[in-house]
Chains A and B, each alone.
Chain A
Amino acid sequence: GQSLEQPSEVTAVEGAIVQINCTYQTSGFYGLSWYQQHDGGAPTFLSYNGLDGLEETGRFSSFLSRSDSYGYLLLQELQMKDSASYFCAVRDDDKIIFGKGTRLHILP
């Protein structure tokens, strides 16, 4: 079957760094992406990894290890506005499959 596993909740302090992990098991793999969704809003694209290694976009970075079927999203200098749900997603041929999401709580 196809599955993406990520923690259901993570809590961190404002200004700190947090890492959200994602492991996947899919029949095909064409890339790992990350999306952010605020309450009441639609998911928005954050980052994509097609090859192994680290991709950096401002305060957000994403990492992929295809041999380990593993990736993570790293959020630095956390701000209160980063409180949201974060989803990892894998493209498997024509499908994009999402994990169940990680709810990030940020404490002041």
Chain B
Amino acid sequence: ETGVTQTPRHLVMGMTNKKSLKCEQHLGHNAMYWYKQSAKKPLELMFVYSLEERVENNSVPSRFSPECPNSSHLFLHLHTLQPEDSALYLCASSQTQGTGANVLTFGAGSRLTVL
């Protein structure tokens, strides 16, 4: 399998649930990203991991918790979310140096609905 794969594609959860989004890339990239896309704030950067170290947090609420166990996998753990957290969550990856550091490959996204 190639590219960036996100699971699940759709998720509906209550405000008290705990769930996780998963992202996997088979491109040999060393940087991975979580973006939130909603009508109000398109493509809002949430987290960046470079060489498995978190380098950017962008003041995201603590109810979102990222995890990067290795350079190929990225998780977003969700806990006690709010309805306004409903959005499309996009994972992306890139190289860390050179021109490739400017080229993001996105997954298809996980559409989250919080009831």
- Assess the A43–B102 pair: CB atoms within 8 A: no
Interface size on B, residues (CB 8 A): 23
Interface size on A, residues (CB 8 A): 22
Q: Which residues of B contact A87 (CB under 8 A)?
A: 42-43
| Interface presence of B108 (CB below 8 A) | yes
Q: Which residues of B contact A24 (CB under 8 A)?
A: none
26 contacts between A and B (CB under 8 A): A31-B99, A31-B102, A33-B102, A33-B103, A33-B104, A35-B104, A42-B90, A42-B107, A42-B109, A43-B90, A43-B106, A44-B106, A48-B102, A50-B99, A89-B43, A91-B102, A94-B48, A94-B50, A94-B55, A94-B56, A95-B48, A95-B58, A96-B33, A96-B104, A98-B42, A98-B43
